[in-house]
A and B are shown apart, each in its own frame.
Chain A
């Protein structure tokens, strides 16, 4: 099993089926905070859900309310189990930092290279030291 090394923006452990976003998304207007469903009908992953998944994405676009949407997802238990980014996205990371502060759980948010991002498939496990194992 190949091991991908990442930079941990927020440390944590998680395992889940990968959801790789093929284009950038605004969490606000892009994901339903009550269900985790992708609701932007112009997005390639429209109809998928981020709930319980390891969400792999380049970065977020659009609204600064993205942090709020992630916080609400995590409070309701329908957020992603972990997030893998290419760009260090501070709107998304902030949502996860505040969730930890508020006691809504701690999910890992890690950053990988574009090349390693291409290798993500199947079920991914993120370890405490930032290694990513896919199977």
Chain B
């Protein structure tokens, strides 16, 4: 069955061959309805087993704190059955949308079959591994067969940048801010669609977390699966390398004003009272928790601040003694899942603030909340005040 679906897709995609893949990241374990459960359980019944290391994306349940999820019993049972089915096929119960920060880091040039839009763009761009935008179902079919159609971003010629984005006119100070990368990503997704772009003028000190934020945002507002950063990412030692020594088909000199407009677009309300703050899409890393603690500086949140993360980070938080500190300051940790993929928020309407471009994009439709976008520092200050506090300097 897996090979039949794979071959159907290969034929539709015009692939002339299948190639081996070295790993998979599976998004199909997230519950969207009974059909996904029927599909996975049919594969289990046919004794499907993965043949390559296959990490699992978030599920619809927080397995460590099941009471936090507001699904009814029937849906809770289906979500659990779905997660169990993928584990039964030999997948690793990693339950994270940031597998690349949980020890699953394929090397440059490796062909892989990853799903989860933010993981796809990170693996391609930051790690230099090769994957297409695999949807749910294709991920497990590739994992079982250990094969993928040789098309798209598996082929080196399709990985060359055609769009050059020159960021040299953006002030360096802005480029140090986490929010800059989420906004840049949101803009990129709308402008680039699914074309491959290369940035010039970004600092070589740009962190994994900043690139994670850029990619997640771009893969929400657009279909971005790969970008390069000249002097930073593996396929772009230089701008010329990323363009494969050709002229860019389009060059965009990015202006600060354009980004300021994008930042406004990411919010659906301007300010005022807030009901909840949500961070951690993609899942918060240990470094991001360190920043969060530093910004909280011992203060206590006046409204719920939900931080979504993976169990791999919880273990590290416990070791460092930070878990208690976070809880004491009013941070509510959501593990194995996140607030937009399953009902967690107390209310079905209200105003949510986030530093995540992905949450900003999906929250209105998936949680019913209006959304305000701000930096992590803005989110923390707003959590203390219970109302929107944003530092506008640097953007105007």
Tell me if A33 and B38 are in contact (CB < 8 A). Answer: no
Question: A61–B9 contact, CB under 8 A?
Answer: no
- Contact: A94 with B39, CB < 8 Å? no
Chain A contacts of B8 at CB under 8 A? 97, 101
Please, which residue of chain B has its CB at the minimum distance from the CB of A69? B32
Query: Is the Cβ of B366 less than 8 Å from the Cβ of A29?
Result: yes
Q: State in angstroms the CA–CA spacing of A60 and B28 once bound together.
A: 18
Task: State whether A9 touches B12 (Cβ < 8 A).
Answer: yes
Q: Mark out the residues of chain B between 363 and 392 whose CB falls within 8 Å of any chain A CB in the assembled complex.
A: 364-366
Q: Can you list 5 A-B pairs, Cβ within 8 angstroms, ordered by A?
A: A42-B268, A62-B222, A66-B135, A68-B35, A88-B13
Contacts A29-B366, A97-B5 hold; do A68 and B32 have CB atoms under 8 A apart? yes
Q: Does A113 contact B (CB under 8 A)?
A: no
Chain B residue with Cβ nearest A98? B137
B82, chain A: closest CB distance, angstroms: 10
A75 contacts which chain B residues (CB < 8 A)? 33-35, 38
| Interface presence of A117 (CB below 8 A) | no
Contact B33 A34 (CB under 8 A): yes
Q: How far is the CB of B19 from chain A (nearest CB, A)?
A: 16
User: In residues 32-75 of chain A, which contact B (Cβ within 8 Å)?
Assistant: 33-34, 39-42, 59-69, 71-72, 74-75
Distance in angstroms between the alpha carbons of A122 and B175 in the assembled complex: 48
CA distance A31 to B132 in the complex (A): 23
Task: Chain B residues near A104: list those with CB within 8 A.
Answer: 35
Q: Which B residues are in CB contact (< 8 Å) with A63? A: 117, 220
What is the size, in residues, of chain A's interface with B at 8 Å between Cβ atoms?
41
Q: Give the distance in Å from the alpha carbon of A43 to the alpha carbon of B236 in the complex.
A: 35
Q: Provide the bound-state CA to CA distance between A71 and B5, in Å.
A: 14
B242-286: contact bitstring with A at CB < 8 Å (1 yes, 0 no)?
000000000000000000000000001000000000000000000
A98 near B189 (CB under 8 angstroms)?
no
A30 to B362, alpha carbons, bound, how many Å? 8
List the 7 closest A-B pairs by CB distance, nearest first.
Answer: A67-B135, A72-B33, A91-B135, A75-B35, A29-B362, A68-B136, A64-B115
Q: B194 an interface residue at 8 Å Cβ cutoff? A: yes
Q: How many Å lie between the Cα of A59 and that of B38 in the bound state?
A: 27
Confirm or deny: A82 has a beta carbon within 8 angstroms of a beta carbon on chain B. Answer: no
Residue of B nearest to A31 (CB): B365
A1-50 residues at the B interface, CB under 8 angstroms: 9-10, 24, 26, 28-30, 33-34, 39-42
Whether B5 lies near A98 (C-beta < 8 A) is yes
Residues in chain B within 8 A of chain A (CB atoms): 1, 4-5, 8-9, 12-13, 27-28, 30, 32-36, 38-39, 42, 115-117, 120, 132-139, 189, 193-194, 219-223, 268, 340, 361-362, 364-366
Specify which chain A residues have a CB less than 8 angstroms from the CB of B30 in the assembled complex.
65, 68
Q: Chain A: residues with CB nearer than 8 A to chain B?
A: 9-10, 24, 26, 28-30, 33-34, 39-42, 59-69, 71-72, 74-76, 87-88, 90-91, 93-95, 97-98, 101-102, 104
In the complex, which of the residues A42, A59, A88, A94 contacts B135, with contact meaning CB atoms closer than 8 Å?
A: A94
Provide the bound-state CA to CA distance between A39 and B189, in Å.
20
By the criterion CB–CB under 8 Å, are A71 and B36 in contact?
A: yes
Q: Given A34-B33, A71-B36, A72-B35, is A90 in contact with B136 using a C-beta cutoff of 8 Å?
A: no
Contact between chains at A61 and B189 (CB < 8 Å) = yes
Contact partner of A33 (CB less than 8 A), chosen from B1, B32, B39, B220, is: B32
> How distant is the Cα of A85 from the Cα of B165 in the complex, in angstroms?
28
Chain A: CB-nearest residue to B138 = A94
- Report B-chain residues with C-beta under 8 Å of the C-beta of A33: 32-33
Residues of chain B within 8 A of A66, CB atoms compared: 135
A102 touches B115 (CB 8 A): no
State which of B12, B222, B364 has its C-beta within 8 Å of the C-beta of A61.
B222
